[in-house]
């Protein structure tokens, strides 16, 4: 279920990797992890 919810994000990261390079895709993934963690913490 979680993977299904994250599949659009993973597709976007794949496109970013292809267009902008691995560095930007890794930075975007780290930002998404931090934002997701903050949303989970603030929701509780």
The pLDDT, as a whole number, for residue 2 is 62
Candidates 1, 4, 26, 3; CA nearest to 13 is 26
User: Each residue of 1-44: pLDDT tens digit?
Assistant: 566 666 887 788 888 888 888 888 888 888 888 988 888 888 87
**Count: domains in the chain:** 1
CA 13 – CA 26 distance, rounded (Å): 8
Q: What are phi and psi of 24, to 5 degrees?
A: -70, -35
Give the structural domain span for 8: 2-43
pLDDT number for residue 5 = 67
DSSP-derived letter for residue 1 is -
This prediction has a pTM of: 0.63
**Which residue blocks in the chain are alpha helix, DSSP H?**
2-20, 22-43
Residue 39: what pLDDT?
A: 84
pLDDT of residue 16: 83
């Amino acid at each position: 279920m979680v993977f299904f919810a994250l599949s659009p994000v993973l597709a976007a990261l794949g496109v970013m990797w292809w267009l902008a390079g691995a560095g930007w895709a890794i930075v975007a993934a780290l930002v998404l992890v931090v934002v997701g963690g903050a949303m989970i913490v603030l929701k509780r």
